[in-house]
Structure 1
């Protein structure tokens, strides 16, 4: 599959490329479960999350630790976009990790490792880049604060911290995001309920106090959600 070197960081993957990437998540038989394929295709084709995160990582060759990786879809998106950084993804959902591991093995995705890990109980040692994509709201305030400080300490000279999160705002987008997160938990896609949505000011204060330079911008594209992309580096 030819790589995409010039993705628009504020738009989702083109429909044909979203379909190609999602094909790895299709069942091997027509009568299998098509949920993962349908989810990944819709996610890639409608949400600018991964192009935005890829743009932030493109010129940072350090290994990537993806906290809350789910099925490991970001690793597939990275490789499709030509990023070759070693990737380790961790997530509390053992079923998603098992499915993701099988897909990595089946597709021969190089330099990718997926592990079961509960962020509420801590996180592994790492030195490089860190991504935290649509995860923070599932951690309480003190755990978020500790994670952000430790993630800042993980950054190597070529590392960058990339966060996509819904921010706490009393707005139409904010309320839609809360309802969508509650629905994802209700149907069983997310094991945990959201417990604490961060604020823009809180994220900035924590990371700047840790010695990082922070940029923050909307990354919701055509979706109705209140999602923002934060990129921090030394």
Structure 2
């Protein structure tokens, strides 16, 4: 009887960031506790187009995808040069196929792209006007078969929303996030904005075992 290979462990995937112990432990902890990466991979199932990851950090999505047998045509951009340096070094250590990373400030430039777009834990760090403009630019990238895959906190009066806001403020205070958090969007407002852009979205809770009010939003052209 043939058995399938065991799934890679968070420690095995995080090994790409050694010898930097801080980023190794960060990656290992995130991969072990956060349902984001499996959620993103599931949301991209059946979408074979190139993927643009806005605010990619150290590139964990690309590492997780390759470790689980999905080598993406992937481009990650982030305004933090230190994170991009770690992403590039980690990709080189493990031969991350089809992935490239670059420094880009989305407040000043937006990459040319045609395909799917990831916007993960980024929207709430933009002011309301910038949120609307960013979603408009993303919508212009989405052709038939492409998807916007977004994770964001939602402002709904819940205790989880309060914890999410506090965590966003803390991540800026310790300089993990360069931008200060703006306002959490509401589900109704976000759904309406995506609808104005010709996109139909589905919302799924994605907080797993965390206390945050995180939602996975997957949008496609109607």
Question: TM > 0.5 between the two?
Answer: yes
Equivalence for 2:77:
90
Alignment counterpart, residue 35 of structure 1, candidates 22, 29, 34: 22
Equivalence for 1:23:
15
After superposition, the Cα gap between the structure-2 partners of 1:183 and 1:147, relative to the gap in structure 1 and judged at 3 Å, is same
Verify the 8 A CA contact 1:54 1:81 in the aligned structure 2: no
User: 1:122 and 1:166 mapped to 2: Cα distance?
Assistant: 24
Partner SS for 1:65? strand
User: 2:212 and 2:62 mapped to 1: Cα distance?
Assistant: 23
Alignment counterpart, residue 47 of structure 2, candidates 43, 56, 60: 60
Equivalence for 2:148:
161
Which ranges of structure 1 fall in alignment gaps of 5 or more residues? 5-15, 28-32
Query: Are 2:175 and 1:183 equivalent residues in the alignment?
Result: no
- Superposed CA deviations along residues 95-126 of structure 1, whole A, max 9, x for unmatched, are 11011111111211110010101112231111
User: 2:214 and 2:125 mapped to 1: Cα distance?
Assistant: 15
TM-score scaled by length of structure 1: 0.89
Give how far 1:3 is off.
8.2
Give how far 1:196 is off.
2.0
Alignment of structure 1 residues 70-149 onto 2, 5 Å = 70-149=57-136
Equivalence for 1:220:
207
TM-score scaled by length of structure 2: 0.93
Equivalence for 1:11:
none
User: 2:152 and 2:17 mapped to 1: Cα distance?
Assistant: 25
Q: Once structures 1 and 2 are overlaid, which stretch shifts more, 215-224 or 192-201?
A: 192-201
Q: What's the RMSD between the two structures over aligned residues?
A: 1.4
- Superposed CA deviations along residues 48-80 of structure 1, whole A, max 9, x for unmatched, are 011111101021000000000001111101111
After superposition, the Cα gap between the structure-2 partners of 1:206 and 1:61, relative to the gap in structure 1 and judged at 3 Å, is same
Q: Once structures 1 and 2 are overlaid, which stretch shifts more, 66-75 or 81-90?
A: 81-90
